[in-house]
Amino acid sequence: MAGKLYDEISGFVPYTQEEAAARNTLLSLIETHGDRMLDRDCEVGHITCSGFILSPDLAETLMAYHLIYGSVGWTGGHADGDADLSGVAMREASEETSVTQIHLLSRRILSIDILPVPPHEKHGKPVASHLHYNVTYGLIAPKNQKIADKPDENRNVMWLKTQDMKIYVTEPQMLPIYEKLVERMRAICEEKAEIPQKMLRPLLEWYPSHKRDLPWRRDRNPYHVWVSEIMLQQTRVEAVRGYYKRFLDALPDIAALAECPEDTLLKLWEGLGYYNRVRNMQKAARQIMEQHGGVFPQSYEEIRALAGIGDYTAGAISSICFSLPTPAVDGNVLRLMARLQEDFRNILSPQFKADVTAQLAQVYPQADPGMLTQALMEMGATVCVPNGAPHCEDCPLAAMCMARKMKSAALLPVREKKTTRRTEERTVFVLSCNGKIAIRKRPPNGLLASLWELPNTEGFLDVQEAVSFCENWGTKPQEFLKTVKRRHIFTHVTWEMQGVFIRCAAESPEFVWAQPQELAEIYSLPTAFRCVLGE
């Protein structure tokens, strides 16, 4: 893990001499202390990860009043052994503000700062002064979502206009850091915005000599393009070749499709699946015969109004067949743009598709826009591929690709299907014996696979039931100490936890019995269980 951590920090390109010194100091400490730098008990200080959150228009920032520092500030927290620093920044931002819709602006580290932390109390325990080697990432969160305080750490979570930060931030050393982060996030957004225009020339120069020889590209007959586009939905190109020829041999024009008996039509489609596609094609053919005199309509709006034709197919036919500057945005194009602009938003969201379409509409050429449509399709299908690593060495856009530069292409695109987060109730046991705490390994599969955990079971147990569990484990419970309530939120499940503290007389072989300091130094307890311990 230390190698991964070193690579992440060494990838930071300093903006100033001060930041270069901070990076080099941190790299030196990682060389000496390794992964211990991720542990809050490391004697020389430790790595923390902050997320500076801006609204999508970059005009406002989401901050909170932090009880420890007595000032409004950013979100962030301890890595606690996790070398996925950007992931830690995301997690902390969500936990401290309750926002659930949040994404990285880029995996680019925005700043590395060495920050002194004054003595303070946390959960009633004194914490000595120490250093935070803080790594910061830029985050974007829409404003139309619920925000809430994390009562034991902050209050007054709120959106502030970036120009008003100076009114609320009372730590003088932090305001310049926040201001430089805003400036850098804006610069990244400007870099992203320039890509659609910059990619046109190399893409259009690449396409003619790299395109595949596909039968539906040999003319610009709208009927032929339409048939191919419908067939290619949810179907591989090689599988479509034979069907395409057989279909056109049997139904050479719109009139033939409109008049075809359904049994014959479905037989021609047999094996392609998703039969509503061809049924809608016939409905559309009949629309063309009845409403357009058998002539394929030539405006985007009229094409889009045909049965079974969506935005993408209408854009493809309009641009390829009628030279209209109408983008055709499908999964291939969305994936390509997500990587070129290192966009970590959900590719399945309507907003993402709308934004990509709007960006392309601004740059679509008036002359032969169909070539751009097909070049984008070809890039997504053969170079910036959906399964496996993209073929960056063959890409004419590699020099401008932000994901390639940040080595994040494998993480993109992000696909987040809407899921309902379920809630589970759990009783978590804090069993102590001779000053040691009982822990055990989780199963090798599933949530928190193979990590250490406090013993736990589903449901909330009363005192007698909890004591009975301990007796069955052979721990010889002596004294019931207390219970605590905790909550931990995972991606797909929320744990509502009742922590049960029991002093025992026997170190049962059911568990590993660890000294408290060993929980930090040797055994890595996930945050879900640390919070039950009060950490």
Residues 464 and 370 in one domain: no
Among 380, 411, 442, give the residue marking a domain's end. Answer: 411
* Distant-in-sequence, close-in-space partners of 396: CB < 8 Å, separation ≥ 6: 202, 203, 205, 206
DSSP label of 395: -
Q: Which of 473, 471, 437, 472 is nearest to 454 (CA)?
A: 437
Joined tokens for residue 274: 């998703």
CB 64 within 8 A of CB 93: no
Give me the pLDDT at residue 121, please.
74
- Number of folded domains that form the chain: 3
Give me the pLDDT at residue 2, please.
67
Give per-residue pLDDT as tens, 501-514: 999 999 999 999 99
- At 78 the three-state DSSP class reads strand
Residues 212 and 359 in one domain: yes
Token pair 């310049």 is found at: 176
* Distant-in-sequence, close-in-space partners of 221: CB < 8 Å, separation ≥ 6: 321
Give me the pLDDT at residue 44, please.
92
Asked if residue 461 belongs to a domain, the reply is yes
Residues 137 and 160 in one domain: yes
* Distant-in-sequence, close-in-space partners of 272: CB < 8 Å, separation ≥ 6: 231, 235, 239, 240, 243, 278
Instruction: Print the domain residue range for 370.
Output: 194-411
Asked if residue 160 belongs to a domain, the reply is yes
Residues 271 and 341 in one domain: yes
Residues 29 and 166 in one domain: yes
Q: Which residues of the chain have pLDDT under 50?
A: 1
Residues 276 and 362 in one domain: yes
Residues 380 and 444 in one domain: no
Q: Which of 75, 44, 173, 64 is nearest to 115 (CA)?
A: 173
Query: Which of these is catalytic: 19, 96, 229, 342?
Result: 229
HSE-CB at 135 with a 13 A cutoff on CA atoms is 31
Asked if residue 184 belongs to a domain, the reply is no
Residues 239 and 318 in one domain: yes
CB 460 within 8 A of CB 484: no
Q: Let me know the angle formed at the C-alpha of 419 by 417 and 424, rounded to the nearest 5 degrees.
A: 150
Here the CATH number for the domain that contains residue 479 is 3.90.79.10
Residues 506 and 393 in one domain: no
Give me the pLDDT at residue 535, please.
63
Among 354, 377, 411, give the residue marking a domain's end. Answer: 411
Asked if residue 188 belongs to a domain, the reply is no
> Is 96 annotated as catalytic?
no
Give per-residue pLDDT as tens, 170-190: 999 999 999 999 999 999 999
Give me the pLDDT at residue 41, please.
84
